[in-house]
Chain A
């Protein structure tokens, strides 16, 4: 372990995965960084799964020749390959998509670089994540792992203490993968009403310990996008266009 100066870290150019939401990309400094854990929170139907599918394609087209593959863990069966194909075809049809990375991939090639694991239970999600190091040996180019959605898998257990223990184990596994292979993780979470003194407020599920461990939490409300750990401390970033 070597000590680095802050100046050296500031000028190090690390590749980032664009999210295609302009205001969000500006605030994040270009996009999602390597080795960090991001969480997308929002109601059903606000576009979390669509954004995740978009990120799977954007990871293949980053700047500075950083092309990577994506691994998608699906616990809610929200993934649809036909929709991913539509997004890939729309992206491939844009004229200036190739100049950033020097390649001009076709829609089928982009689909071939996205790997999909169907998890029916929480145990299968844990099994999939534990086996990640084996997948990474076969496909060393995987740079992005998406877990959609982690709250659905954890909440399938009945008791709260079982859930907390399992969540901490998952974080442990993800943290080793993050540091060892420098991967970006994107999780998807739900909202629920929590009682705060006399009123009910919308908060992200899975508790305070979990919100301390993730790096950045991105809220996707109906027309607005926020960044912040709790409902009260979230900061408005930009308006979502569609």
Chain B
């Protein structure tokens, strides 16, 4: 499904114009006009003359012609390979930048935060704090890059409950107190959308999201949560196809506009056949696991921390798989100020005794 804008149409006609006449006719006869479509259409479709009328003068199309056509399309589209060494220099290096969480323990554990490449999935049982972490991410992405953010806005798609705007206001006040010199209007850069069903969600992702990305500078796309929509399907084939469509659309935007994509997922219980134990696994099965690049899991730890007169349960973030960081885990707390480190307990200094 081509999503070319005005520039794409101009480029497409430019590509066809520079080909010799008989190749242009071959492409137009089969109605395959863009270089992408030429490369993904099988050879046989160009040479198939069954659909033509007998009385029209049909130019025969030889395999050599198809080969030349495809080679021309490949030359038009292809990128030259760059050495891995040059990926550390500035224009390419920005493709591997990260969005910090605003909390030192989480940033250290995930190697700097959420990566811009690919989809990051945060899974966990209900009530462990996934939405809190997502809210904190939406604020920290607006900080400038010296402080770990990207200096861009957020597109937040809510599929479960109403967006927790009061909680966002509370955390944003804590952020303003921490970074007063930045003077950012945190709440003004977050664009929220509520979608509760799959077809409207896919429509929003394919049509309205690219318009938003063109008009405002967005650094983070959040979908909270992906499981609520796709768990309602009964036809698994359609579910797989819709998931893939949505993910490919999101990845193309992430690539074009350099923004991170984070989705949150729920957990479901399953019985391991060889161990006969009930274990929690993330929802949506292997189809979704194959599409996400990094998976992090948030869970509650049976430890509690006393702050003032409240007892807060300690949470744990664990990296299940990621291409660049080892499987580390870290602990954090959720307080009125958002997501913070667990403070170290202060001990009295040991008294040094002289050995006589």
- Are B293 and A78 closer than 8 Å at their CB atoms? yes
A96 at the interface (CB under 8 A from B): no
Residues of B within 8 A of A38 (CB): none
B90 at the interface (CB under 8 A from A): no
The docked-state distance in angstroms from the alpha carbon of A152 to that of B83 is 23
B231 at the interface (CB under 8 A from A): no
List A residues 162-184 near B (Cβ within 8 Å).
162, 165-166, 168-169
B23 at the interface (CB under 8 A from A): no
B96 at the interface (CB under 8 A from A): yes
B324 at the interface (CB under 8 A from A): yes
- B80-114 vs A: 1/0 string, CB under 8 Å? 11111101100000001000000000000000000
- Are A78 and B118 closer than 8 Å at their CB atoms? yes
B74 at the interface (CB under 8 A from A): yes
- Are A43 and B117 closer than 8 Å at their CB atoms? no
Residues of A within 8 A of B290 (CB): 44, 151-152, 190-192
Residues of B within 8 A of A72 (CB): 84
Task: State the main secondary structure of chain B at its contact with A.
Answer: helix
- Are B286 and A193 closer than 8 Å at their CB atoms? yes
A58 at the interface (CB under 8 A from B): no
Whole-angstrom distance from the CB of A42 to the nearest CB of chain B?
11
Whole-angstrom distance from the CB of A128 to the nearest CB of chain B?
5
Closest A residue to B82 by CB, please name it. A116
Residues of B within 8 A of A50 (CB): 323
Question: Given the interface contacts A44-B290, A123-B36, does A131 sit within 8 Å of B118 by beta carbon?
Answer: no
Residues of B within 8 A of A62 (CB): none
Whole-angstrom distance from the CB of A210 to the nearest CB of chain B?
15
Question: Given the interface contacts A81-B84, A192-B286, does A124 sit within 8 Å of B79 by beta carbon?
Answer: yes
B241 at the interface (CB under 8 A from A): yes
B20 at the interface (CB under 8 A from A): no
Whole-angstrom distance from the CB of B293 to the nearest CB of chain A?
6
Q: Which of A77, A117, A120, A124 has the most CB of B within 10 A?
A: A77
A130 at the interface (CB under 8 A from B): yes
B255 at the interface (CB under 8 A from A): yes
B289 at the interface (CB under 8 A from A): yes
The docked-state distance in angstroms from the alpha carbon of A113 to that of B71 is 26
B43 at the interface (CB under 8 A from A): yes
B283 at the interface (CB under 8 A from A): no
- Total interface residues on B, CB under 8 Å, equals 48
A233 at the interface (CB under 8 A from B): no
> B159-167, B244-252, B263-271: which one contacts chain A?
B244-252
Which one, B85, B87, B293, contacts A76 given CB within 8 A?
A: B293
List A residues 118-160 near B (Cβ within 8 Å).
118, 120-124, 126-128, 130-131, 135, 151-152, 155-158
Which one, B83, B245, B287, contacts A115 given CB within 8 A?
A: B83
- Are B39 and A123 closer than 8 Å at their CB atoms? yes
- Are A117 and B81 closer than 8 Å at their CB atoms? yes
- A52-88 vs B: 1/0 string, CB under 8 Å? 0000000000000000000110001111111111000
Question: Given the interface contacts A78-B293, A111-B83, A169-B42, does A192 sit within 8 Å of B287 by beta carbon?
Answer: yes
- Are B81 and A135 closer than 8 Å at their CB atoms? yes
Q: Which of B36, B40, B84, B287 has the most CB of A within 10 A?
A: B84
Question: Given the interface contacts A192-B287, A193-B286, does A79 sit within 8 Å of B323 by beta carbon?
Answer: yes
Question: Given the interface contacts A44-B292, A120-B252, does A126 sit within 8 Å of B286 by beta carbon?
Answer: no
Residues of B within 8 A of A76 (CB): 118, 293
Question: Given the interface contacts A127-B77, A193-B286, does A80 sit within 8 Å of B83 by beta carbon?
Answer: no
Whole-angstrom distance from the CB of A114 to the nearest CB of chain B?
4
The docked-state distance in angstroms from the alpha carbon of A233 to that of B76 is 43
B347 at the interface (CB under 8 A from A): no
Residues of A within 8 A of B244 (CB): 155-156
Whole-angstrom distance from the CB of A116 to the nearest CB of chain B?
6
A95 at the interface (CB under 8 A from B): no
A49 at the interface (CB under 8 A from B): yes
Residues of B within 8 A of A121 (CB): 36
Closest A residue to B289 by CB, please name it. A44
Which one, B37, B76, B81, B324, contacts A82 given CB within 8 A?
A: B324
Whole-angstrom distance from the CB of A165 to the nearest CB of chain B?
4
B220 at the interface (CB under 8 A from A): no
Q: Which 7 A-B pairs rank lowest in CB-CB distance, beginning with the nearest?
A: A45-B321, A165-B42, A115-B81, A123-B36, A130-B74, A127-B74, A127-B78
- Chain B interface residues (CB < 8 Å from chain A): 35-37, 39-40, 42-44, 70-71, 73-85, 87-88, 96, 117-118, 241, 244-245, 248, 251-252, 255, 285-287, 289-290, 292-293, 295, 320-324
Given A124-B36, A131-B75; 17 other pairs, CB 8 A cutoff = A44-B289, A44-B290, A49-B323, A72-B84, A78-B293, A80-B324, A108-B85, A116-B83, A122-B40, A123-B37, A127-B75, A155-B244, A156-B248, A162-B40, A165-B44, A169-B43, A192-B287
- Chain A interface residues (CB < 8 Å from chain B): 43-45, 49-50, 71-72, 76-85, 108, 111-118, 120-124, 126-128, 130-131, 135, 151-152, 155-158, 162, 165-166, 168-169, 190-193
15 A-B pairs, CB-CB below 8 angstroms? Answer: A45-B321, A49-B323, A72-B84, A77-B117, A78-B118, A80-B117, A114-B84, A116-B81, A127-B76, A130-B74, A152-B290, A165-B44, A166-B42, A168-B42, A193-B286
